[in-house]
């Protein structure tokens, strides 16, 4: 184990937490040592505390870890702590960890809109981690102790949305109008209490509280340029990009599907073939950095007319790849397409792990 960074997970028994356990179990650079959950679980062995719902078996390395309460005193040895806490209690807990000097990568929404907190989709905007580098450098120059920090992962459906936008904007210039209609998996609603079977079986729920606002706002932060002093990003304005989201819960276990339409600002717009080639050729920076979990193929362009489908395509590149199909002209905007991303891997825990790998590659943990 020598040389591995010590990792902890908050909310370790939940939907996102269980995914963290799977992704960190045999990780070459991180050793999972500390797990936190509610006082209902604290004091129990993980195997006894968790209601394991993954199709992969519970890794042996996690079974006997005794679950702690979510207090920084139990996580002091951690080089990095991943949080899968619900927003109702993540705010106070993550703040206490940060003030204790701990590096946190969080799935909760609480700090996503803070100016000095990077909001990261690691296959899209890892350069926003410069905000953390700047914070650490400033403390060093001022002779202060190394500060803790929080990095937020985006909302799960935002991650799938922005993944294909990044290469398109890089190649063809700004996108100024964008609509998305989502078909979101049940696991995205968490496990406690989760979506009741009686509500979702034979049904679609055309409402996910707060989700549309998150998608519309977060897109403007993730695609924004860094400010010159690298302390924050310059949020895109509604004049620069209009985003409209409609979110639906569907009877799928994992994998969020989104039907997207978009318009480029520059005329003439690229052709369908140019859009496909651009997406196929995109290599994310995390892969160029040599990060262990980075997808070799960031965007999978599927030509079959009935793909992507969650059951068939969500695990491409181990769930770190995003699938895009049905790319065609749109009579209202320029193009429409169907995007599929794994909500608890690239949309949550996987992004957390990939962010930590980037931090490690950049010597920031």
Question: Which of 75, 95, 89 lies closest to 33 in space, CA to CA?
Answer: 75
DSSP 8-state class, residue 348: I
Question: Least distance to ligand NAP from the beta carbon of 219, Å?
Answer: 15
Question: Least distance to ligand NAP from the beta carbon of 292, Å?
Answer: 21
Pattern of binders to ligand NAP over 169-208, x per CB under 6 A?
------------------xx-xxx----------------
Q: Which neighbouring-strand residues pair with 238?
A: none
Pick the piece of the chain touching ligand NAP (CB under 6 A) from 12-20, 231-239, 285-293, 330-338. Answer: 12-20
Q: Residue with the closest Cβ to ligand NAP?
A: 14
Ranges within 322-351 binding ligand NAP (CB under 6 A): 343-344, 347-348
Residue of 128, 232, 256, 300 marked active site? 256
Residue of 78, 152, 156, 284 marked active site? 156
Question: Least distance to ligand NAP from the beta carbon of 360, Å?
Answer: 22
H/E/C letters for each residue in 121-185? CCCCCHHHHHHHHHHHHHHHHCCCCCCCEEEEECCHHHHHHHHHHHHHHHHHCCEEEEEEEEEEC
The helix/strand/coil state of 323 is strand
Residues listed for the chain: 365
Pick the piece of the chain touching ligand NAP (CB under 6 A) from 13-21, 123-131, 168-176, 309-317. Answer: 13-21
One of 26, 40, 71, 116 touching ligand NAP (CB under 6 A): 40
Q: Which neighbouring-strand residues pair with 329?
A: 335
Is 27 one of the annotated active-site residues of the chain?
no
CA distance 265 to 268: 9
If binding is defined by CB under 6 A, does position 85 make contact with ligand NAP? yes
Question: Least distance to ligand NAP from the beta carbon of 341, Å?
Answer: 10
Size of the site for ligand NAP (CB under 6 A): 30
The helix/strand/coil state of 257 is strand
Q: Which is nearer to ligand NAP, 100 or 146 (CB)?
A: 100
If binding is defined by CB under 6 A, does position 37 make contact with ligand NAP? yes
Question: Which of 361, 345, 365, 357 lies closest to 84 in space, CA to CA?
Answer: 345
CA distance 166 to 349: 21
If binding is defined by CB under 6 A, does position 14 make contact with ligand NAP? yes
- Residue 86 sits at the vertex; the CA angle it makes with 213 and 70, to the nearest 5 degrees, is 150
If binding is defined by CB under 6 A, does position 277 make contact with ligand NAP? no
Pick the piece of the chain touching ligand NAP (CB under 6 A) from 35-43, 55-63, 114-122, 174-182. Answer: 35-43
If binding is defined by CB under 6 A, does position 261 make contact with ligand NAP? no
Lookup: tokens for 98: 């940060």
If binding is defined by CB under 6 A, does position 156 make contact with ligand NAP? yes
> What is the dihedral angle through the alpha carbons of 66, 67, 71, 76, rounded to the nearest 10 degrees?
40
The helix/strand/coil state of 238 is coil
Contact 127, 226 (CB under 8 A): yes
Is 156 one of the annotated active-site residues of the chain?
yes
Footprint of ligand NAP (CB under 6 A): 11-17, 37-38, 40-41, 70, 84-87, 89-90, 107-108, 156, 187-188, 190-192, 343-344, 347-348
């Amino acid at each position: 184990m020598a040389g591995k960074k010590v990792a902890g997970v908050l909310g370790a028994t939940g939907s996102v937490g269980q995914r963290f356990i799977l992704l960190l179990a045999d990780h070459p650079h991180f050793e999972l040592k500390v797990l936190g959950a509610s006082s209902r679980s604290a004091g129990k062995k993980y195997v006894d505390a968790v209601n394991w719902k993954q199709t992969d078996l519970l890794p042996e390395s996690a079974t006997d870890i005794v679950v702690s309460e979510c207090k920084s005193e139990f996580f002091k040895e951690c080089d990095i702590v991943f949080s899968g806490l619900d927003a109702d209690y993540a705010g106070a807990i993550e703040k206490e960890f940060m003030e204790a000097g701990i590096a946190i990568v969080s799935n909760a929404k609480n700090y996503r809109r803070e100016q000095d907190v990077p909001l990261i989709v690691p296959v899209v905007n890892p350069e926003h981690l410069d905000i953390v580098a700047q914070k650490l450098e400033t403390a060093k120059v001022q002779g202060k102790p190394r500060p803790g920090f929080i990095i937020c992962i985006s909302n799960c459906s935002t991650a799938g949305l922005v993944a294909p936008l990044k290469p398109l904007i890089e190649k063809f210039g700004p996108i100024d109008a964008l609509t998305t209609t989502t078909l979101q998996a049940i696991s995205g609603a968490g496990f406690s209490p989760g979506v009741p079977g009686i509500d979702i079986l034979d049904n679609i729920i055309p409402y996910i509280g707060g989700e549309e606002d998150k998608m519309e706002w977060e897109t403007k932060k993730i695609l924004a340029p860094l400010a010159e002093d690298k302390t924050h990003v310059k949020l895109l304005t509604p004049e620069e990009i209009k985003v409209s989201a409609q979110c639906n819960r569907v009877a799928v276990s994992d994998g969020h599907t989104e039907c997207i339409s978009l318009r480029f600002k520059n005329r003439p717009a690229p052709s369908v073939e140019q859009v496909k080639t651009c997406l196929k050729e995109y290599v994310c920076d995390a892969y160029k950095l040599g990060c262990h979990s980075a997808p070799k193929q960031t965007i999978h362009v599927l030509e079959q007319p009935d793909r992507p489908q969650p059951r068939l395509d969500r695990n491409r590149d181990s769930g770190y790849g995003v699938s895009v199909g049905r790319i065609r002209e749109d009579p209202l905007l320029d193009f429409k397409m169907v995007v599929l991303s794994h909500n608890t891997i690239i949309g949550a825990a996987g992004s957390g792990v990939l962010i930590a790998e980037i931090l490690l590659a950049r010597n920031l943990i």
